[in-house]
Amino acid sequence: MGIGYQNVAACAVLVLVMVMAEIAGICANSSTLLHSPCLERERQALVKFKASLNDSSNLLSSWHGHDCCRWEGIGCDNVTGHVVMLDLATPFAKCWRPMWEGEYWLRIDDNDNCDLLYNQYLEARNVNSSLLELEYLTHLDLRGNRFHSSPIPMFIGSMQRLRYLSLSAAGFGGRIPSNLGNLTNLHFLDLSRNEFSPDSNINWISHLSLLEHLNMMGSFIYNKSQVNIINLTITAPNLHFLSLADNGLSVSNLDALQNMTSLVHLDLSGNNLTSVSSWFGNFKKLEYLDLSWCGLHGPISNAFQNDNSLTSLSPLTFMTTLLLQFHLGLLS
């Protein structure tokens, strides 16, 4: 009787080992189990989108075959197969590394290699709206490509699942479409270094209450022109990165910032500020402040007197920087 039980147990163990070996073999030899293949409707949408682009650098050479989830720059949900990420930032843009919450600076040792990638980009004047078929897309990055001063496509304002949108240095122009205010799930928005009309009204930003990162650096043609943000309201309570640099703003344009107490990084360089408002003292979490090239003059505001969190200050002028750093206790 004992021998019978031992035989049964041995057989059970043998069967279990065989089953586990079979499963391991399937997993090792069939990567298709690691994700669901993309949906045909979404694959066709990407094909149409590609057809509207000039890809002289063959950046999309991998865009063939039935499984678009394997194409370069495409990310899919492993369970549903829906396309959730479209990352088409240029190789040159990808050579830049994040120095602070998405601000990109070249690695010193990569300069030469990055320069070799400068002429690799996608370009278009009219982008196919087929991307609307990617209804589960949460991440869209077109950084560094060339759209020849064409307006931001209106359909992007209908992609309401987006959490991440970067159109930085992509050569967009005209007025910024106000329907970007419909993207209420955005946490990251970068429209920096484009050629938008200075009469663009960006009050729609007030609808983006989930923003954590907003970069509008050098976004407008003729940076010294007055940008229409006088009545701008920012309601994002968790906004920690903000750049409005190089946009010709005056002090009165910045009153909307005085309640942004969550800011950690603030870049207002290259604007027409002349003085620092007392409400700068509200920024208790601020660690980085850039007020360079703003034409500041006169006494330094006592707004910084009790600011113990500020650890990095970009130069205003050499002497002003020394005075301000001394005032903040940043000099030993």
State pTM to two decimals: 0.80
**Which tens digits make up the pLDDT trace of 5-30?**
566 555 665 656 565 655 555 454 44
Residue 106 in this model has a pLDDT that exceeds 80: no
pLDDT-derived band at 77, boundaries 50, 70, 90: very high
What proportion of the chain, given as a percentage, has pLDDT over 70? 70
Per residue in 265-296, pLDDT tens? 999 888 888 777 777 778 888 888 888 888 77
Question: To the nearest whole percent, how much of the chain has pLDDT over 90?
Answer: 47
pLDDT score for 167: 97
Strand intervals (E) in the chain: 74-76, 83-87, 96-100, 103-106, 139-141, 164-166, 173-174, 188-190, 195-196, 213-215, 241-243, 265-267, 288-290, 312-314
Give the per-residue pLDDT at 20.
62
Mean pLDDT across 33-56: 90
Backbone phi and psi for residue 68, each to the nearest 5 degrees, phi listed first: -70, -15
